[in-house]
């Protein structure tokens, strides 16, 4: 499993004049006063990050930016990992839409998860982490995928009567918000508050 994100989506832009109010003093001291900050959602593991933008660069909420190792065109530095609670209300609103966009754009990755998901414990299957999926529905999903692996979201809908995109978005949002001790799709939040 990869630890670093290569791409992310801009959730919020914090101009220099607002950084003094929205960011912890420790962070403000480490970066130039004229830095523009952004909160970004990682594309692969839904990592929440705070970054600084390169001087003079403009980005928009929802824009996909390179945040990986090496030369970046818009992001200057990754400042820190953040938690859901660190996001401002507009960023929280954009979050669900961007999670849905990522899940829809990476259909094969998540269909493969439905085909390969296994038990978490002797008594609990990872499919049960999806809201509304109980033991009976898990058995139905497992029986269907034994007959033939799922090929698409539509295939899952037709064969087991669930909306996989809704289930996945709900689960990913719960993990981002730290509502459950299990992390299947999301990088666990940083252990200490920053």
Q: Is residue 2 pLDDT above 70, yes or no?
A: no
Give the whole-angstrom CA distance, residue 121 versus residue 168. 20
Give the whole-angstrom CA distance, residue 103 versus residue 135. 24
Q: Identify the pLDDT of residue 1.
A: 43
Tell me the per-residue pLDDT of 67-91, one tens digit each, with 9 for 90 and over: 999 899 999 999 889 999 999 999 9
Fold match between 7-83 and 106-176? Answer: no
Residue boundaries of the structural domains of the chain: 7-83, 106-176
User: In the CATH scheme, what architecture does the domain 7-83 have?
Assistant: Beta Barrel (2.40)
Token pair listed for 141? 């999903």
CA atoms within 13 A on the CB side of 61: 14
Strand order in the sheet with 48-53: 64-66, 7-14, 37-42, 48-53, 75-81
CATH code given to domain 106-176: 1.10.150.280
Q: Is the distance from CB of 68 to CB of 43 less than 8 angstroms?
A: no
Q: Identify the pLDDT of residue 53.
A: 94
Three-state secondary structure call for residue 149:
coil
Mean pLDDT of the chain: 89
Q: Identify the pLDDT of residue 193.
A: 46
Tell me the per-residue pLDDT of 125-175, one tens digit each, with 9 for 90 and over: 999 999 999 999 999 999 999 999 999 999 999 999 999 999 999 999 999
Give the whole-angstrom CA distance, residue 84 versus residue 64. 19
Helix 135-147 / helix 107-116 crossing angle, nearest 10 deg? 100
């Amino acid at each position: 499993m990869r630890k670093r994100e290569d791409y992310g989506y801009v959730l919020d832009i914090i101009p220099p004049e607002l950084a003094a109010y929205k960011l912890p003093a420790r962070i403000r001291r480490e970066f130039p006063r004229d830095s523009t900050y952004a909160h970004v959602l990682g594309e692969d593991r839904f990592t929440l990050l705070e970054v600084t933008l390169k001087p003079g660069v403009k980005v928009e909420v929802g824009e996909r930016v390179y945040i990986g190792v090496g030369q970046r065109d818009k992001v200057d530095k990754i400042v820190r990992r953040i938690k859901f609670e660190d996001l401002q209300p507009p960023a929280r609103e954009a979050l669900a839409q961007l999670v849905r966009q990522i899940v829809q754009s990476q259909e094969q990755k998540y269909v493969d998860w439905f085909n390969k998901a296994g038990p978490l414990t002797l008594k609990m299957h990872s499919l049960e982490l999806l809201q509304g999926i109980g033991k009976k529905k898990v058995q139905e999903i497992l029986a269907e995928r034994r007959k033939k692996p799922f090929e698409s979201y539509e295939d899952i809908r037709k064969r087991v009567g669930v909306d996989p995109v809704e289930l996945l978005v709900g689960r990913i949002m719960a993990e981002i918000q730290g509502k459950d001790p299990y992390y299947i799709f999301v990088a666990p939040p940083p252990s200490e508050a920053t």
